[in-house]
A and B are shown apart, each in its own frame.
Chain A
Amino acid sequence: MKPELVTLHINGRPRITALAPNVTLLQALRDLGYMDVKCGCEQGDCGACAVLVDGVAVNSCLVLVGQADGCQILTAAGLGSVKQPHPLHEAFADTGAIQCGYCTPGFIIAAKALLDHNPQPTELEIREAISGNLCRCTGYGQIVEAIQAAAERIANGK
């Protein structure tokens, strides 16, 4: 398939790239160097590749890059850095919500999408919001705690 020009606004920066239309957003992001978007199954089963496309959490393995043309894309690394972490990053790091860490960027994105719409979610709402993300290490309890803690930190303006 012939490459086509696609514009992706990734973490606030426009990236124009020529890609075949059958390339997934996941592949495109990783080829562009956004390695925080993880590849766990390429079938939409695990959520490790979740990103926000125009504010909506999607599995980037299920989106063709053409569908994201002109869209705003946010990855977990776009939220902050080791030096300037987002409250979600801090809360995940502090509550034991991260073990192997491979699923973490996807969970951060799912949590961000939730808190954007629902700043004070109940435990059940949190569990529902992350139900498309698989974690094999933690058993989810500490991830739920982390999202609760992040919600509090954000509410307190920290």
Chain B
Amino acid sequence: MTIKTKPLPPHTLPELRQVGKPLRRVDAMGKAVGATVYAGDFALPLMLHAKVFRGTQACARIVRLDVSKARALPGVACILTAADLPDARLVSDMPGQTGQKQRSGSDVPVLASDQVRFYGEPIALVAAETLDIAERALKLIEIDYEILPGVFDPLEALQPGATIDNLPDPTDPDLRNVVARWAIRKGDVKAGFAEADLIVENTFRVPYQEHAFLEPEAGVAWTDERGVLNIRVSTQVVEHFRSIARAVGIPQSQIRIQGTMVGGGFGGKEDITVEVYLALLTKATQRPVRLVYTREESTLAHSKRHPYIISHRTGVKRDGRITACQIKVISDSGAYPYLSPYVLLYTTVMAPGPYRVDNVQVDSVAAATNNPFTSAFRGFGGPQACFAYEQQMDAIADALGFDRYELRRRNYVRTGDTTATGQPIETAAWLEEAATRVLAALEAGSSKLEARNSKLETRNSKLETDNQSPAIGHQQPVKIGRGIASFFQSYGRITWLHDTSQAWVGVEQDGTVLVRAGVPDLGAGQINSLCQIAAEVLGVPLERVSVYATDSALTPLSGTSTATRQLYMSGNATLMAASAVRKVLVDRAAKYLEEEPEKLDMADDKVFVSADPAQSVELSNLAKVCASEGLPLANLAMFKAPFTDPIDLATGQGRVFPDFTFGAYGVEVAVDTETGEVTVLQAVTCCDVGRAINRAAAIGQLAGGGMQGMGYALMEDLVVEKGVIKTPSLAEYLIPTSMDFPTTQVIVLESGTGVGPFGAKGIGEPALTPAAPAVASAVSAAIGVPIHELPITPERVLRALKQRDSLLR
């Protein structure tokens, strides 16, 4: 079937000089030559080395804990247990922010005192003169447990009487093991189903995913000469200094977090990691302390992507129009809430997908278990929702005998439609534009794949001639299939969190530009984007912009590098600050050039008359004049996201997000029906990024997110048995290598309609969301069996084929 790409609607995209170009990022060369200093690379004189003593039970009472032998080991400077830290708790559910009452017991103890609730829970901290001594001290800590049964299945956890023995509100039996609940009631679901010609019901399951960032958690802390506790750490959130101050018992003004370049975060460094332990040990010893996790400890210590069980019941008309949907969502939060209530909200809001449905009912619940705790991971509940709604769309299309894309096309939301929570979509929703481009690219790519296809055919014919496949007879064992997934994903934080970001921009007297912003750079180019924006506004080359970032004391607070918010929030703050400085410069130049300010422009280190660029003034000269006249050449700006009230908790109606990103992902796969092996032949993504600030970085996000999504679909298999992670290494938990999947072909669309700077939308998280659903769709197209569960391992493919064959018989 030939697909005609849908022409882009009229849209304006002003010509820009720096923004949009694939310029060399400001952080690139330092990283290339190995000069960038990461959190674990930093050392101080007389520094101690820390280790964390962790529990080896998923659910147990601590009967005896004896650290005396460890404490007596020569070279051990300090051992801390919960007994030393009576009030050390991390608040993980902020009242008034999730819109729910704060539940007792939802705070996370920094160290477990009388019981452990997940495998690897921290129990004691050690600081010693050498790493070797610290490791020996761990072995001298004595502990006895009384093992408790524990709950390892979220469905079981929600049964009456089940308890993981701490959570969340023992006084309210209805809330037993319920970490969070959300509900959406839109329209009239009963009437919608009554109107339907067909009702399709399915249940989908998605697994854990491990972030597997290359840099394990690391940091170093020290107390300076004024008593300020300094922590140099790899984190997505420098604002954690407040929670740490509370846990450690020091004023918030006496703690400073100096964030380093982050060696990969993906949400796994969004919660507090090593920094609270460093703070406690430094406070106790008054010496510098370093703590770096091993790979195994990293895997045990940080959160995972939530496993979900999502059930869809969808009513459709024969023409493919959806009349109603009823969705049930259950997530496994592990022993502590962390960000589970928020992640669950994202899943809830996005559960019906980018489709127009007037009658929606969603009920979601996050259950506490004794499994590894779950929290943020790139996509934040969106990828799980997308897997379910896209596999459901395939099931509906197959049931109606529709082309899978055509069914989607008939239901796509458009600008002006509302989401399940009644929030209007205010910017471009280029779903059809993206999907048709993906399909066309797959079609075009197929011809280029001839070489590989011929290899497949050789295998097919060889097997046929060898007659090695009696079960399949003369059928070819290798099947080809294509799949596509459409998606929408929010960017920016939940609007009732009242998000703000600040940035400072200044021009020096030699005409160079400085940006200051407390932005953690996770590698996505967060700080480079700010520089490229400032360079655009102030008309200087990117090399003449310097940036100071990620310091909770010295750079303006810019908020978290999470929720695909930094470009939107801090990009806008930088744009505001740079524009204010530009106005001062242009107004002053206008007097000198005897021209109206509106008729001037800035580029190439000059302010000039747009109509006659020869009439100009050098930026360096202009800056000196402004300085001598006392004109402000620096500006601190604050950008505010829309502030709203929380949604109505009974109906889920109201605004939840600033805006959404839309796009599509497509893959072509070959499935070997004898071995169950799935080979991705090609992958294409097309996304409306609003406006690319750095084109190479935008492509990198989309291709890299696609790779993580394909890993989630096919390879990444975190084995958890009775709460214990059985795959705590990169040899057991396999992430994609250069040989596993082809590079995702990236098609960047720019509607210019986003709420970020220059019309940008966010793409960090959206990049990942549709990949796994597209792979599942392709596999099911290839073998004719629906895929309801990830990862799509060879075993699962073979099991699915067996089921199909037994049904056919």
Contact = CB atoms under 8 A, between A and B. Distances in A.
Nearest to A40: B214
B808 interface: no
A154 to B, nearest CB: 15
A9 to B, nearest CB: 18
A131 B31 contact: no
Interface residues of A, number: 57
A2 to B, nearest CB: 14
A122 interface: no
B417 to A, nearest CB: 32
Contacts, number: 187
B35 interface: yes
Nearest to B22: A96
Contacts of B31: 93, 98, 100-101, 104
Contacts of A138: 700, 703-704, 707
B212 A142 contact: no
Interface stretch (B220-228, B575-583, B730-738, B748-756): B730-738
A139 B730 contact: no
A144 interface: yes
Given A100-B214, A134-B214, A139 B34 contact: no
Contacts of B697: 96
Nearest to B523: A100
Nearest to B23: A94
B341 interface: no
A144 B524 contact: no
A46 to B, nearest CB: 6
Contact of B33 (A46, A85, A134, A137): A85
B550 to A, nearest CB: 14
Interface string B435-448: 00000000000000
Contacts of A120: none
Interface in B297-337: none
B768 to A, nearest CB: 11
A90 B33 CA distance: 9
B614 interface: no
A85 B33 CA distance: 7
A144 B738 contact: yes
B214 A135 contact: yes
Contacts of A39: 40, 216, 292
A32 to B, nearest CB: 12
A27 B177 CA distance: 45
Contact of B215 (A35, A45, A77, A100): A100
B24 interface: yes
A45 B685 CA distance: 29
A66 B705 CA distance: 41
Size range of the chain B interface in the assembly: 35 or more
Interface stretch (B256-264, B366-374, B657-665): B256-264
Contacts of A134: 212, 214, 730, 735, 737
A78 to B, nearest CB: 9
A6 to B, nearest CB: 18
A100 B28 contact: no
A112 interface: no
B25 A93 contact: yes
Contacts of B729: 41, 43, 45
Given A41-B730, A101-B261, A35 B41 contact: yes
A89 B29 contact: yes
Contacts of B25: 93, 96, 98
Given A96-B699, A137-B704, A85 B32 contact: yes
A141 interface: yes
A37 B706 CA distance: 28
Interface string B4-21: 000000000000000000
Nearest to A89: B32
A98 B32 contact: yes
B37 interface: yes
B193 interface: no
B103 interface: no
Contacts of B36: 101
B161 interface: no
Contacts of B45: none
B295 interface: yes
A141 B35 CA distance: 24
B708 interface: yes
A92 B744 CA distance: 19
Contact of B700 (A41, A105, A127, A142): A142
A130 to B, nearest CB: 5
Given A89-B32, A136-B266, A38 B743 contact: no
A89 B33 contact: yes
B215 A102 contact: yes
A25 to B, nearest CB: 16
Contacts of B699: 96, 142
A72 interface: no
B615 interface: no
Nearest to A103: B214
Interface of A: 30, 35-43, 45-46, 48, 75-77, 79-82, 85-86, 88-90, 92-96, 98-105, 108, 126-128, 130-144
Given A82-B29, A131-B737, A136-B264, 16 more contacts: A35-B38, A36-B33, A41-B729, A76-B33, A79-B33, A88-B32, A93-B28, A96-B697, A100-B261, A102-B213, A128-B738, A131-B739, A137-B264, A139-B706, A141-B744, A142-B696
Q: Which 6 A-B pairs have the closest CB atoms?
A: A36-B34, A100-B523, A101-B31, A141-B743, A102-B263, A96-B696
20 contacts: A36-B33, A36-B35, A37-B34, A39-B292, A42-B295, A46-B295, A79-B33, A80-B33, A88-B32, A98-B25, A99-B700, A100-B261, A100-B264, A101-B28, A101-B32, A108-B32, A108-B34, A137-B700, A139-B704, A143-B738
